[in-house]
Amino acid sequence: MRLENSFTAPASPARVWAFLTDVPAVVPCMPGAELVEQVDPTTWKANVKVKLGPISMTFGATVREEEADEATHRLRLVADARELRGRGMARAEVAASVQPSDGGSRVEIVTDLDLSGAVAQYGRGIVKDVAGQLTAAFAQNLRDRLEGEPPAAAAVQPVSAIRLLARALLARFRRARDETPPPAGEGA
């Protein structure tokens, strides 16, 4: 499934690019993520904790930088993740670009995501909405870091998928409500 997200950051494209390509600095900005090991200059291992109500899952991920073009500020990563107790897998190809925008930067992220196992049970729309919520949280953490604030907590907290799911469902409901035309005779 293809996911497209974007956000703005209060820094120059060069500064945002430098930050985005510094994986040990970026990982703490990702909700539920923890850097485990740098295998080589372009490969890292990380854990991502997700909580679905009473169920907690931890994914072990290997992230590889496939392309980093400093001249165009384009980055392509591939992440392969496996739930540590065998309850699912994910593969993501992520393309990110940084462009100037209103005195700051606009970061666009396009992800091709394949899910299998327990995680794949959720519908495409829900996964897209949750991905949007995760991107929003990542963007806020990145903004905070660029403004010099340290990460919110030293310990990695699992991503609460129930809370993200509730926000995503509420956003989906609001979009549907806003797109629904009023009944005949109303609003005229």
Q: Which residues of 37-63 are buried (b: 16+ CB within 10 A; e: fewer)?
A: eeeeeeebebbbbbbbeeeebbbebbb
Instruction: Tell me if 20 sits within 8 A of 98, measured CB to CB.
Output: yes
Residue 188 lies in a domain: no
Residue 69 lies in a domain: yes
Question: What pLDDT sits at residue 98?
Answer: 96
Supply the mean pLDDT for the chain.
80
Choice between 78 and 129, residue whose per-residue pLDDT is larger: 78
C-alpha 155/C-alpha 4 separation (Å) is 29
Question: Over the stretch 84-117, which tens digit does the pLDDT of each residue have?
Answer: 998 888 898 999 999 999 989 999 988 888 888 8
Q: Does pTM top 0.75 for this prediction?
A: no
Residue 89 lies in a domain: yes
Residue 154 lies in a domain: yes
Question: What pLDDT sits at residue 17?
Answer: 94
Residue 88 lies in a domain: yes
Print the SS3 string covering 39-100.
EECCEEEEEEEEEECCEEEEEEEEEEEEEEECCCCEEEEEEEEEECCCCEEEEEEEEEEEEE
Residue 185 lies in a domain: no
Distance separating the N- and C-terminal Cα atoms of the chain:
40
Residue 184 lies in a domain: no
Q: What is the CATH number of the domain that holds 91?
A: 3.30.530.20
Tokens of 71: 């001249």
Question: What pLDDT sits at residue 183?
Answer: 59
Instruction: Tell me if 44 sits within 8 A of 32, measured CB to CB.
Output: no
Range of the domain at 104: 2-179
**Most confidently predicted of 99-108, 117-126, 151-160:** 99-108
Domain count, the chain: 1
Residue 186 lies in a domain: no
Question: What pLDDT sits at residue 124?
Answer: 63
